[in-house]
């Protein structure tokens, strides 16, 4: 444990004493050299006396000024621009104080006439006073420059010695250093290079930079040359430099750039790693400060080619500050990320609601231990959203003002086999929570929906469409609560995502099964989707147009077969040789392309980037209530076959009503004719309609 030997404000420790002593000695040396350089044979006479009487002042004063300037907070080997600026300010203060002290104290005085060159006769007859000897201008300038040179120079030398890499350095175990090519010569690339130079135990040797900015080509950054760009020059540079590893050090690099680098490196069996994206760096407040520890393997989301949506969460989520926010499904993939991001904007309380004990416990502990959320701000509630009495108890106890309803079943194949539970959990539970929220006067209610609710071809999609209908009825009934649904496509890494399924198939050696090589899906990351959900919550209207349905702009759809091949390549394997991609054929109810808008909805812009509104005529509350009355009876009876058929029928009611009333609208650019509607769902109990993205059969 370090012992402080001075006031905390001075930040002086026993490790700082040698550095302080050396700095004082260097300042005194600079003062002496300034006099020696100003006078050919050194100071003589009155100037010699002035030097002898002031050198001790300079030494003592410099120690005090350097301490007050707080230049010993970091060791010299970590010195940077800010440290050098602090030293420069300290040196300027030392010189000014020295000049002022000599002028005020007047340590050396001589008779006035001698000072002005009077003759001996004049001096003998004069009774005039004395004049103080002042510092020569040349001494002042030289003292400043020499002090600056010595104090900064010693820090530069210390850092250079620390970062100096001996030739022929070897890693532990006798293996030679690995050559590294750094993509990106900006701030991220400089940080990576600095970490490599400082930490010799990493066993990495930089061989060059790549950067798409032509103005940087040919420059040297800390001795490492920028060799070219990532487009035309990349193959040539990889051949010439023969790196063992490539590090992508551009946190904001688009997916197309990452994909190009990965593709060229995989051809040559070169390992590729990347810095976290800007979004990950902003989100992860617990990661180590060392850049080398943050570098990770390239993941599939890095190479999908779409630009992630980045928002200032503190600004777009400001409406949650000081509010009591209830998140259902808080332990799930979407719900847990909602809790993480909401915790950052300063809510009064976050109510975590989930019926899965393990998941609820994990997110509670994470928020407390890793996100440092006070326990008084969190309320973990174990409950089932389908039980309306239990929901009323929870709402009455915690009085939430904002609700994010993320609790839902997502596995398409399982829901086809269990339609009763699908409808009970996804549709009827949404209706229960929405009604209780309205009764208790909740200000905002946001439903996490899915693109599978558009022209649904599966029980899961139809149940989510009914959940959207439930919000419309609640909007008409509870004027004080503003309701909205947020609709988006596949989320990478979420429960039921195709990515972990493909990964398991790759680990088994394949084949990776895709139902149709033409099949496409929309993708985004969990943090990105959640940020847009929170932003959508701030856009909810006052209810005069029914429940809002916000649609996230997912970018361009991704071909599933391309995703499968990319994942195989990221695993260091060849999709044409090591792991096969097998096309197993599309099944009943499966779409080739997902849509984001129904044909009776009109895409409308909002004031938020990447978020659109699905304009449509609201359904009458009576129509919605009649729908739920029918399915409630079938759920109670447990008639899976009739329930699946009824849900399939009800999911088309909206389109039929719109056609009859003349409100049908053409889909916009995100949903115009991309759907291939499959056979109707609900062919009987346990009707099999597998997940759209994969084939669940064992290879």
Could you check whether the bond before residue 475 is cis, i.e. omega within 30 degrees of 0?
no
Strands 402-405, 444-448: pairing kind: parallel
Report which of 485, 471, 403, 475 is spatially closest to residue 437, judged by C-alpha positions: 403
Output the pTM of the full model.
Answer: 0.61
| Ranges under pLDDT 70 in the chain | 1-15, 42, 73-75, 77-80, 112-129, 162-176, 252, 276-311, 493-496, 542-546, 572, 587-590, 650-699
Burial class (CB within 10 angstroms; exposed 0-12, middle 13-18, buried 19+) of 115? middle
Outline where 79-136 has alpha helix (H): 81-105, 112-115, 120-125
**Alpha carbon distance 649, 442 (integer Å):** 32
Helix, coil or strand: residue 5: coil
For residue 401, the tally of other CB atoms under 10 A from its CB is 21
| N-to-C CA span, the chain | 59
Alpha carbon separation from 167 to 160, 196, 203 (Å, rounded): 15, 15, 12
Q: Which residue has the tokens 């909602």?
A: 338
Q: Which residue has the tokens 């895709």?
A: 514
- What confidence score (pLDDT) does residue 657 get? 59
Strands 271-274, 296-297: pairing kind: antiparallel
264, 518 contact by CB (below 8 A): no
Alpha carbon separation from 434 to 92, 269, 530, 552 (Å, rounded): 67, 54, 20, 22
**Alpha carbon distance 355, 343 (integer Å):** 21
- What confidence score (pLDDT) does residue 440 get? 95
């Amino acid at each position: 444990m370090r012992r402080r030997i001075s006031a905390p404000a001075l930040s002086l420790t026993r490790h700082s004493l040698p550095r302080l002593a050396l700095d004082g000695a260097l300042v005194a040396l600079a003062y002496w050299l300034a006099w020696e350089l100003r006078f050919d044979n050194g100071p003589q006479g009155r100037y010699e006396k002035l030097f002898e009487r002031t050198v001790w002042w300079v030494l003592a004063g410099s120690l005090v000024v350097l301490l007050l300037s707080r230049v010993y907070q970091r060791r010299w080997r970590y010195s940077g621009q800010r440290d050098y600026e602090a030293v420069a300010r300290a040196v300027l203060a030392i010189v000014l104080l020295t000049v002022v002290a000599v002028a005020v104290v007047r340590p050396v005085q001589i008779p006035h006439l001698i000072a002005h060159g009077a003759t001996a006769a004049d001096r003998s007859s004069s009774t005039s006073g004395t004049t103080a000897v002042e510092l020569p201008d040349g001494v002042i300038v030289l003292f400043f420059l020499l002090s600056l040179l010595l104090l900064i120079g010693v820090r530069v030398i210390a850092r250079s010695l620390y970062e100096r890499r001996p030739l022929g350095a070897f890693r532990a175990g006798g293996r030679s250093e690995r050559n590294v090519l750094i993509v990106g010569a900006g701030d991220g690339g400089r940080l990576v290079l600095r970490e490599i130079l400082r930490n010799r135990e990493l066993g990495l040797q930089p061989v060059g930079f790549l950067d798409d900015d032509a103005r940087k080509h040919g420059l040297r950054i800390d001795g490492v040359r920028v060799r070219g760009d990532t487009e035309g020059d990349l193959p040539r540079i990889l051949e010439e430099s023969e790196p063992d590893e490539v590090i992508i050090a551009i946190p904001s690099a688009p997916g197309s750039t990452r994909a190009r680098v990965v593709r060229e490196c995989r051809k040559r069996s070169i390992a590729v790693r990347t810095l976290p994206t800007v979004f990950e760096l902003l989100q992860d407040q617990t990661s180590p400060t060392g850049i080398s520890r943050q570098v990770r393997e390239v993941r599939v989301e890095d190479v999908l080619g779409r630009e992630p949506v980045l928002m200032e969460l503190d600004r777009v989520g400001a409406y949650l500050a000081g509010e009591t926010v209830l998140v259902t499904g808080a332990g799930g993939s979407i719900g847990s990320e909602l809790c993480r991001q909401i915790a950052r904007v300063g809510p009064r309380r976050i109510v975590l609601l989930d019926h899965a004990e393990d998941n609820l416990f994990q997110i509670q502990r994470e928020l407390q231990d890793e996100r440092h959320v006070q326990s008084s701000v969190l309320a973990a509630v174990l409950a089932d959203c389908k039980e309306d009495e239990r929901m009323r108890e929870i709402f009455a106890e915690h009085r939430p003002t904002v609700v994010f309803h993320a609790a839902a079943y997502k596995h398409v194949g399982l829901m086809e086999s269990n339609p009763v539970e699908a409808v009970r959990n996804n549709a009827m539970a949404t209706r229960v929570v929405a009604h209780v929220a309205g009764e208790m006067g909740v200000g905002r209610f946001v439903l996490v929906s899915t693109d599978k609710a558009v022209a649904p071809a599966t029980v899961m999609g139809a149940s989510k469409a009914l959940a959207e209908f439930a919000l419309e009825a609640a909007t008409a009934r509870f004027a004080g609560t503003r309701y909205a649904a947020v609709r988006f496509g596949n989320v990478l890494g979420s429960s039921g995502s195709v990515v972990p399924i493909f990964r398991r198939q790759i680990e088994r050696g394949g084949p990776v099964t895709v139902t149709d090589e033409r099949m496409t899906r929309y993708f985004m990351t969990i943090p990105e989707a959640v940020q847009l959900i929170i932003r959508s919550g701030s856009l909810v209207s006052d209810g005069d147009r029914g429940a809002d349905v916000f649609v996230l702009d997912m970018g361009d759809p991704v071909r599933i077969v391309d995703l499968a091949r990319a994942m195989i390549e990221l695993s260091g394997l060849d999709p044409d040789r090591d792991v096969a991609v097998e096309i197993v054929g599309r099944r009943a109810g499966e779409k080739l392309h997902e849509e984001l808008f129904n044909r009776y909805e009109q895409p409308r812009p909002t004031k938020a980037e990447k978020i659109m509104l699905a304009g449509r005529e609201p359904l009458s509350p009576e129509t919605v209530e009649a729908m739920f009355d029918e399915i409630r009876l079938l759920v109670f009876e447990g008639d899976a076959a009739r329930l699946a058929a009824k849900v399939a029928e009800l999911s088309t009611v909206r389109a039929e009503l719109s056609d009859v009333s003349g409100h049908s609208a053409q889909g916009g650019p995100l949903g115009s004719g991309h759907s291939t509607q499959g056979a109707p769902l609900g062919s009987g109990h346990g009707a099999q309609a597998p997940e759209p993205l994969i084939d669940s059969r064992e290879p």
